[in-house]
Structure 1
């Protein structure tokens, strides 16, 4: 028989834990820290969500992932995560877990419960799965769960502080246009599943609209979000006076006319009049089919742009009015944080800052 988790009660418990201090220091807290400092984002959500469930209902079994699991204390983990943890992470934790709208749609969370027999990659992922089972099995009551939840937030706050320090040494640098162009081309040489391209295009779009008349909002979304759960129209959405204006789709891999059709249809469906499709330097496609598809949408009244990313970067920089060059750094960091990019992407960015000798200057 599944147990119920009162979401209102869970909201109160998670907020109280966030304001509390960690009172535990043992093997379990070591395991919690290992998971939170690991690279597997879905398991981070499962960890926090599972301990939150036990803190909210003493009968809940955090090893369960679905109410239909053949375990005593099974509960609807996805609902708890989506309705309580996800908005809490967004509002209080700077998306430090990963910024996912629906983390329980990812494969590791689709099993009925955690088990050593779950299909998972060997190595670190398998070790993390077994560690989660060990942690959950060791937390026997809601009182302990609340204490460990407070420890989770202490660890996450440290991670947020560390993340904020990442770009401290470069925030005051003011690069020239040619330096920005050079950095951009170097940055997109590594893809990290499309993150670098999306960050550069989003950063320049944000910078451009800061200097345009009107009230514009530029939203660059997390790369590779599930289409079923994400609320974005394109990878980068631009709003004017609160109303949707146009979108940019950024594709740093091979694509076809159906990818273009899908992107442009979403813009039309949301009453946009313009749409851009920017592709990476390594992308392969059938040019004739893509141009034909673009013509189809222009006949529907949609003004479209299909362009390789190198040309797009140069053209956007050329269109920028005289601006404070330091603003590029700030827009770059803002965009990287908004997509909650991978640590590897941040490390690549910082590495380039160092190699290009972008050092702090007083301006």
Structure 2
């Protein structure tokens, strides 16, 4: 039997779907377990609850592949990997065809909603190996991944491998059910949501590092909520903060288009703004012929904002109209004109946008903050 027959993505999806439905429908889902090794379960949970999304995909993909074909090496990431036992395989292709569509159809994006997870730097290596540890950013996660896959590979037992796969799906199903619970909790109707409430929630949310993701979503949700009332733009687009504008084919982080598909407004979002960063954003907007640009940042004092005026004047003479705004001031100004219902819409729009972009961990944190401030029910 050829590798393509054994690692048929369709069979992989069928196996995942069957196990997923069986596990998620189990009434004792909080108590059941499929492997006895407590240390292995701890490592599995550490990866699935961690921040490195590529490791989550790799854990599920590598174990799934091994469950389908015990002759492969679970540590191999590429066909050219030099393995001592078993066969190497193209994990990237298998993941893209089996795991990615399954996540989209059944798992609500809890792995991270990536279209091509193995393009991530750690997974571009030939195999999962501790020899690479010095070049890996998340060393603990990589070690955990290596140790789990090593146990699976060394045992080389189909039943054991399938039980590890079931344990992974069990942990994911628990997270998925919590996600559904959080999604149902995002209803603040009937509660009073003041501007100060919003500013407090946003401050709590943005005080934790997110590589710009949380700030971008706050601004994106704010513009979408406002646009539903004023209908200034036909379409508002954005993509993940980790995807470069050039790769995504964007002019700026958030783009607003008119009825004819023309770019009306570009919004650049950055957690920290200095003259160098501002010049980069202005140069990029000018090169791409953006006429109107808002640069939104976080915790920008007025005295610092005033220092940018000469630079802004220079670009305005080139035909680029620019506004610099601190997100707190922006939210405060806009939402002052919102009634309670629209402020509730904004809160829900943030949650929806976080899920839309695959920021599941940030979504969970958003709900936690809302619960803490008693702005959600459920």
TM norm. shorter chain > 0.5: yes
Q: Which moved more, 1:207-216 or 1:238-247?
A: 238-247
Give per-residue Cα distances to partners, 1:47-90, cap 9 Å, x unaligned: 12212333555543221122221125222222333444334323
Decide whether the 8 Å contact of 1:14 with 1:149 is kept in 2: no
Q: Secondary structure at the match of 1:184?
A: helix
Query: TM-score, normalised on structure 2?
Result: 0.74
Pair 1:165-2:186 in alignment: no
Give per-residue Cα distances to partners, 1:222-246, cap 9 Å, x unaligned: 3323567656654334456694744
Decide whether the 8 Å contact of 1:215 with 1:241 is kept in 2: yes
Match of 1:332 among 342, 350, 362: 350
Query: TM-score, normalised on structure 1?
Result: 0.76
Cα gap change, 1:339/1:109 in structure 2, threshold over 3 Å: closer, same or farther?
A: same
- Name the counterpart of 1:250: 269
Match of 1:155 among 168, 171, 176: 171
Q: Which moved more, 1:80-89 or 1:318-327?
A: 318-327
Match of 2:308 among 287, 294, 309: 287
Give per-residue Cα distances to partners, 1:117-146, cap 9 Å, x unaligned: 222468733541333332441563677656
Cα offset, 1:358, TM superposition? 2.9
Q: Which moved more, 1:211-220 or 1:97-106?
A: 211-220
CA distance in 2, matches of 1:232, 1:88: 28
Q: Which moved more, 1:248-257 or 1:339-348?
A: 339-348
Decide whether the 8 Å contact of 1:54 with 1:141 is kept in 2: no
Q: Secondary structure at the match of 2:187?
A: coil
Q: Root-mean-square deviation (CA), in Å? A: 4.1
Q: Which moved more, 1:208-217 or 1:155-164?
A: 208-217
Structure 2 gap segments, 5+ residues each: 24-31
Paired residues, number:
352
CA distance in 2, matches of 1:293, 1:87: 48
- Name the counterpart of 2:10: 11
CA distance in 2, matches of 1:212, 1:347: 30
Cα offset, 1:148, TM superposition? 5.0
Give per-residue Cα distances to partners, 1:180-223, cap 9 Å, x unaligned: 24433454344433233223212212211222348845444333
Q: Which moved more, 1:174-183 or 1:226-235?
A: 226-235
Give per-residue Cα distances to partners, 1:25-50, cap 9 Å, x unaligned: 11478354453234432211111221
Match of 2:52 among 18, 40, 51: 40
Match of 2:281 among 260, 266, 274: 260
Cα gap change, 1:328/1:228 in structure 2, threshold over 3 Å: closer, same or farther?
A: closer
Pair 1:75-2:89 in alignment: yes
Pair 1:105-2:119 in alignment: yes
Q: Which moved more, 1:198-207 or 1:243-252?
A: 243-252
CA distance in 1, matches of 2:237, 2:154: 42
Q: Secondary structure at the match of 2:8?
A: helix
Decide whether the 8 Å contact of 2:76 with 2:127 is kept in 1: yes
Decide whether the 8 Å contact of 1:65 with 1:76 is kept in 2: yes
Q: Which moved more, 1:6-15 or 1:199-208?
A: 6-15
- Name the counterpart of 1:206: 224
Cα gap change, 1:217/1:62 in structure 2, threshold over 3 Å: closer, same or farther?
A: farther
Structure 1 gap segments, 5+ residues each: none
Pair 1:26-2:26 in alignment: no
- Name the counterpart of 2:27: none
- Name the counterpart of 1:193: 211
CA distance in 1, matches of 2:80, 2:314: 45
Pair 1:358-2:375 in alignment: yes
